């Protein structure tokens, strides 16, 4: 069960939606409260009294408050400034209390350098006093003014100011504010800067940040249907993209702080208002979007390697009441000839909703093990859910062992009592090393009970059906008579502490509800006295780290973890789905923006519940959703307990769309897997906004209805009801339809094209200069990856000269690491050129043994965009292949330029290029090869 936003039996009615929203304490976007803003300017900031250089070339400065005030509490009088160029393209600016240690994101959870403890003594001579106001690194320059203190960050190569905190009278923001529970800092922005990030939230205006929308960061179990609301994750990072005189420049800014915050983006400025912690800024110089995510993930952690099978299609539902239903689902997918790699269980397999248990009646272990043997034998996988709340139950071994090991979060020195699906629960404290060990042991025990292939960690914001300080009721809890998410503990609100009722109210849940509402009380205490107030947004992240460690240690295999709650660095350990969405056209559209944002956040393995989690998609919507969801990096159909069944075979028309779209996905698996390798080694998102590949083309800066897979495979789906055409933006260049490679769109300056898109058609186009490795597909990834390869080569249509490149990564996806050099992986670069009619395609193998051992071959090459008719015989590795003496065949097909630049008077595209297909090849993937022929030769 994916959330406490689950419905009642009235799920199809308006009453259901009202009830659902009231349960969460959230409302629709129309009735949201605007966040209460602080007074425009608080105080007069700080002055820099002294600054010196450290032995390793960093700066340490001492700041003193100018005039104290009591707005949101008293000012911290003395601050330490620490500035360091950590790499050529990363600058850190850290500001904290000079006299007392403050909360920071734990250094063992997110490894990084610790700032030195300053020994600066005011009034005495400094060893290395700084007299200049600029501190320059390889690519970034830090400059400052002393009174009032402000700093700026500038990129050296082009002189652009990336961040500037100094305030003038005309600015809508003030100077630096640093109090115990209220920190404020602002930056100016150019009006034409395009910003992305600051999530997790559902952004109705698309991926680009929209001025004056609320951006609140605080992990909350508020469903994804709530617009402009802090949702399950907290990612206080943004990417800034600017076009200056036709050149594109991007950079990113991370505020590494886990406390709740409001970020006010006004178009020409951005202000952070944070309720604790420190200012720990990291600036990443770019200048390209890919450079930015490379630099960002090199700091926060590279995205986790994913097993090959995880790129297959997944099916889940809360409400598979017994094992026979699961077996029927698997068989029905097979019968419908729809690919399926992974079958999931929500909590239906559990005994009384308790983690690490099996329901002995509905999921008897012997029958479940027999089922798993059957699906494992063909390569299918099985994943189940676990929630963090551990049932308070004296006969429950998991709870007893947790209690004995003292692993739970405390309140008044007792385990904090909350309620989730099993009733009363305690929450494990994953900041405690003993908890990590205990959790790993419980996962080991469960794996011995059921050999699952991955774990789904849900409700880990953490979600609580109650609020405040609770105790066990005299009666039964849950009562068994009402919805399971109604609080039945005896609870009282906690408002008498500054942690539960801080002076500044962030816009929590879009309503400024108390920050402990429906979660762990913020005055609860973690290991070593850490307050939940500070660590709240790290909960799901710390659980991901512990779960990853447990799974990797279990069998030495590559783990697969799906987490709902995420924080900076979560992508190193887990995949993510966008949580509880609705089966509506709006939610289909929103899913694209959220997916693209998570690629920027370093969590590239992401997707939304296909067809919507609740209450019921229409048949048409489910058709269109699988045409988008088949191209999510993480592709899973998932539905609510009370919703009607929506597996893809439930409608004949949806099954047809699924066979078409997923059929293409399974052919693209080698490409997608290579993209996961790129993500793991460089942070590059799998699904990307178009501006990643076309950063100078400003028309695509706000585009949120199309996306790229990798650098050049564009998906342009139908996102509106009743439409059989889609208006798609084509950046400059030649684009080839992947479903019909004779169809070409030539976009010389960039343009919109209206494409035909009947119900079962999704438009996917491949960009010029690309070599795309594909296979023949299949019903399961294990079999699909054994089939011969096809290389699709694209040149600019009809041009006499052109080049193309591609790559392919293959490995044993059971291995925990995804890397070269272990004898269990291969990497191949593919190249192609056409010059004066001479066509050549060749490979350069970096490591070939693994591919050779598996016998992979290239059986077909399709070359698109060639000029001139006719072709000479093919040469392979310099030797001519005599027609009729081998299985190699060459065919030529005219390519139609759809709405090309020079249509005839009837609007018909004139054929200006040809496609050449070479079949019957047996080129070894693990060995260098060269293929060539001459165009324009009479046959």
Percent of the chain with pLDDT over 70: 92
Give me the residue label for tokens 């002076």.
Answer: 503
**Catalytic annotation, residues:** 458, 461, 580
Residue 690 in any domain: the answer is no
pLDDT band at 21 (very low <50, low <70, confident <90, very high): very low
pLDDT at position 902 is 41
234 plus 109 within the same structural domain: yes
Q: Phi and psi for 625 in degrees, rounded to 5? A: -70, -40
436 plus 401 within the same structural domain: yes
Which three-class secondary structure state does DSSP give residue 510? helix
Longest alpha-carbon distance in the chain:
93
pLDDT in tens, 744-779: 999 999 999 999 999 999 999 999 999 999 999 999
Q: Phi and psi for 676 in degrees, rounded to 5? A: -65, -35
Give the end of a domain, one of 675, 697, 722: 675
pLDDT at position 6 is 37
Residue 163 in any domain: the answer is yes
Tokens of 433: 């090393």
359 plus 452 within the same structural domain: yes
List the domain range (segments joined by +) for residue 167.
Answer: 45-300
CB atoms within 10 A of CB 292: 25
Pick from 907, 633, 863, 836: nearest CA to 736: 863
Give the end of a domain, one of 675, 710, 730: 675
The pTM score is 0.95
- Which of 105-119, 311-325, 407-421, 792-806 shows the lowest mean pLDDT across its residues? 105-119
281 plus 417 within the same structural domain: no
pLDDT in tens, 99-145: 999 999 999 999 999 999 876 554 444 455 565 689 999 999 999 99
314 plus 256 within the same structural domain: no
pLDDT at position 326 is 98
- Which of 16-20, 82-86, 166-170, 384-388 shows the lowest mean pLDDT across its residues? 16-20
pLDDT band at 4 (very low <50, low <70, confident <90, very high): very low
- Cβ atoms 532, 788 nearer than 8 A: no
52 plus 157 within the same structural domain: yes
CATH code for the domain in which residue 100 is found:
2.60.40.1760
Q: Is the peptide bond before 798 cis (omega within 30 degrees of 0)?
A: no
CATH code for the domain in which residue 658 is found:
3.20.20.80
| Mean pLDDT of the region 506-535 | 95
Domain count, the chain: 3
Enter the DSSP assignment of 831.
E
Distance from C-alpha of 916 to C-alpha of 799, rounded to nearest angstrom: 15
Residue 523 in any domain: the answer is yes
541 plus 604 within the same structural domain: yes
Sheet holding 390-391, edge to edge: 390-391, 423-426, 418-420
Residue 577 in any domain: the answer is yes
pLDDT in tens, 207-258: 999 999 999 999 999 999 999 999 999 999 999 999 999 999 999 999 999 9
pLDDT band at 340 (very low <50, low <70, confident <90, very high): very high
Tokens of 109: 């959870």
Give the end of a domain, one of 284, 300, 316: 300
- Cβ atoms 195, 188 nearer than 8 A: no
Distance from C-alpha of 569 to C-alpha of 40, rounded to nearest angstrom: 33
Q: Please report the sign of the dihedral spanned by the C-alpha atoms of residue 609, residue 614, residue 619, residue 624.
A: negative
Pick from 46, 47, 49, 60: nearest CA to 127: 60
Distance from C-alpha of 707 to C-alpha of 632, rounded to nearest angstrom: 10
Q: Is the peptide bond before 604 cis (omega within 30 degrees of 0)?
A: no
567 plus 446 within the same structural domain: yes
Percent of the chain with pLDDT over 90: 88
- Which of 86-90, 123-127, 807-811 shows the lowest mean pLDDT across its residues? 123-127
322 plus 248 within the same structural domain: no
Residue 122 in any domain: the answer is yes
For the cut 50, the answer to whether the pLDDT of residue 717 exceeds it is: yes
Q: Which parts of 319-399 are beta strand (E)?
A: 342-345, 381-386, 390-391
pLDDT in tens, 131-181: 568 999 999 999 999 999 999 999 999 999 999 999 999 999 999 999 999
Residue 713 in any domain: the answer is no
- Cβ atoms 679, 311 nearer than 8 A: no
pLDDT at position 510 is 86
216 plus 324 within the same structural domain: no
260 plus 367 within the same structural domain: no
127 plus 168 within the same structural domain: yes
Residue 709 in any domain: the answer is no
What 436-439 contacts at long range (C-beta under 8 Å, 24+ apart), as own/partner pairs, is 436/545, 436/546, 436/549, 437/405, 438/401, 438/402, 438/405, 438/407, 439/407, 439/546, 439/547, 439/550
Residue 393, CA distances (Å) to 315, 350, 354, 547 in order: 32, 15, 10, 23
Q: Are strands 857-866 and 913-919 parallel, antiparallel or unpaired?
A: antiparallel
Residue 912 in any domain: the answer is yes
CB atoms within 10 A of CB 412: 9
CA angle 481, 486, 488 (to 5 degrees): 80
């Amino acid at each position: 069960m994916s959330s406490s936003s689950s419905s009642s039996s009235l799920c199809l009615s308006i009453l259901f939606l009202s009830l659902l929203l009231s349960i969460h304490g959230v409302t629709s976007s129309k009735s949201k409260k605007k966040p209460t803003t602080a007074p425009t300017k608080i105080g007069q900031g700080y002055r820099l009294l002294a600054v010196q250089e450290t032995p390793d070339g960093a700066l340490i400065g001492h700041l003193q408050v100018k005039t104290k005030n009591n707005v949101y509490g008293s000012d911290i009088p003395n601050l330490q400034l620490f500035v360091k160029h950590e790499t050529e393209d990363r600058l850190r600016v850290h500001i904290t209390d000079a006299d007392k240690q403050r909360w920071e994101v734990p250094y063992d959870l997110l490894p990084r350098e610790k700032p030195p403890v300053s020994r600066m003594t005011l009034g005495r001579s400094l060893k290395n006093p700084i007299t200049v106001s600029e501190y320059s690194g390889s690519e970034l320059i830090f400059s400052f003014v002393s009174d009032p203190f402000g700093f700026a960050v500038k990129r050296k190569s082009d002189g652009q100011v990336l961040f500037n905190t100094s305030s003038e009278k005309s600015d809508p923001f003030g100077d630096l504010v640093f109090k115990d529970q209220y920190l404020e800092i602002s930056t100016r922005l150019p009006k034409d800067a395009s910003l992305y990030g600051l999530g997790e939230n559902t952004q109705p205006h698309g991926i680009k940040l929209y001025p004056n929308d609320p951006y609140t960061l605080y992990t909350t179990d508020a469903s994804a249907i709530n617009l402009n609301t802090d949702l399950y994750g907290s990612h206080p990072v943004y990417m800034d993209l600017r076009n200056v005189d036709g050149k594109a420049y991007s950079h990113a800014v991370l505020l590494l702080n886990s406390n709740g915050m409001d970020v006010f983006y006004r178009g020409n400025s951005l202000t952070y208002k944070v309720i604790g912690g420190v200012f720990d800024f990291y600036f990443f110089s770019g200048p390209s979007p890919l450079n930015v995510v490379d630099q960002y993930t090199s700091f926060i952690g590279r995205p986790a390697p994913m097993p090959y099978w995880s790129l297959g299609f997944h099916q889940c539902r809360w409400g598979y009441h017994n094992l026979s239903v699961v077996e029927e689902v698997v068989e029905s997918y097979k019968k419908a000839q729809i690919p399926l790699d992974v079958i999931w269980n929500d909590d239906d397999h559990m005994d009384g909703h308790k983690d690490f248990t099996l329901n002995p009646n509905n999921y008897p272990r012997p029958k479940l093990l027999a089922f798993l043997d059957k699906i494992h034998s063909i390569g299918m996988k099985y994943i189940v859910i676990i929630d963090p709340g551990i049932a308070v139950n004296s006969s429950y071994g998991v709870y007893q062992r947790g209690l004995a090991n003292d692993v739970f979060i405390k309140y008044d020195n007792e385990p904090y009592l909350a309620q989730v699906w099993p009733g009363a629960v305690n929450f494990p404290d994953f900041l405690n090393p003993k908890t990590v060990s205990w959790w790993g042991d419980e996962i080991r025990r469960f794996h011995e009970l059921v050999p699952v292939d991955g774990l789904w960690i849900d409700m880990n914001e953490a979600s609580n059906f109650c609020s405040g300080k609770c105790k066990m009721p005299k009666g039964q809890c849950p009562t068994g008579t009402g919805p399971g998410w109604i609080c039945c503990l005896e609870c009282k609100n906690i408002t008498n502490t500054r942690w539960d009722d801080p002076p500044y109210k962030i816009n929590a849940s879009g309503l400024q509800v108390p920050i402990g509402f429906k979660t762990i009380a913020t005055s609860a205490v973690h290991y070593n006295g850490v307050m939940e107030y500070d660590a709240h947004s790290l909960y799901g992240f710390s659980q991901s780290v512990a779960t990853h460690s447990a799974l990797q240690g279990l069998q030495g295999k590559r783990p697969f973890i799906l987490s709902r709650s995420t924080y900076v660095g979560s992508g190193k350990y887990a995949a993510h789905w966008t949580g509880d969405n609705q089966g509506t056209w709006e939610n289909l559209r929103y899913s694209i923006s959220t997916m693209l944002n998570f690629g920027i956040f370093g969590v590239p393995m992401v997707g939304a519940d296909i067809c919507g989690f609740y209450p019921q998609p229409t048949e048409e919507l489910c058709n269109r959703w699988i045409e988008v969801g088949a191209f999510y990096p993480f592709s899973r159909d998932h539905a609510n307990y009370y919703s009607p069944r929506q597996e893809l075979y439930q409608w004949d028309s949806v099954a047809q769309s699924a066979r078409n779209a997923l059929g293409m996905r399974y052919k693209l698996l080698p490409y997608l897997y290579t993209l996961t390798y790129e993500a793991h080694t460089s942070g590059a998102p799998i699904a990307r906004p178009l501006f990643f590949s076309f950063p100078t083309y400003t028309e695509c800066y706000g585009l949120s209805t199309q996306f790229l897979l990798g650098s050049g495979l564009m998906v342009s789906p139908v996102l509106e009801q009743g439409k059989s055409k889609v208006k798609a933006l084509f950046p400059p260049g030649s684009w080839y339809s992947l479903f019909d490679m004779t169809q070409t769109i030539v976009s010389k300056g960039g343009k919109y094209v209206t494409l035909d898109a009947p119900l079962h058609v999704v438009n996917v186009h491949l960009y010029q200069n690309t070599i795309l490795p594909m296979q023949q597909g299949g019903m399961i990834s294990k079999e699909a990856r054994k089939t011969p390869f096809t290389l699709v080569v694209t040149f600019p249509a009809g041009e006499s000269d052109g080049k193309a490149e591609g790559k392919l990564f293959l490995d044993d996806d059971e291995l925990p690491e995804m890397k070269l050099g272990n004898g269990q992986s291969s990497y191949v670069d593919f190249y192609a050129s056409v010059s004066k009619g001479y066509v050549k395609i060749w490979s350069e193998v970096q490591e070939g043994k693994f591919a050779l051992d598996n016998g992979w071959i290239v059986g077909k090459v399709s070359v698109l965009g060639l000029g001139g008719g006719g072709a000479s015989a093919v040469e392979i590795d310099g030797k001519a292949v005599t027609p009729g003496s081998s299985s190699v065949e060459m065919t030529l097909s005219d390519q139609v330029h759809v709405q090309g630049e020079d249509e005839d008077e009837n609007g018909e595209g004139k054929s200006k290029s040809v496609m050449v297909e070479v079949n019957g090849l047996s080129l070894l993937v693990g060995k260098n090869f060269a293929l060539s022929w001459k165009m324009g030769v009479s046959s």
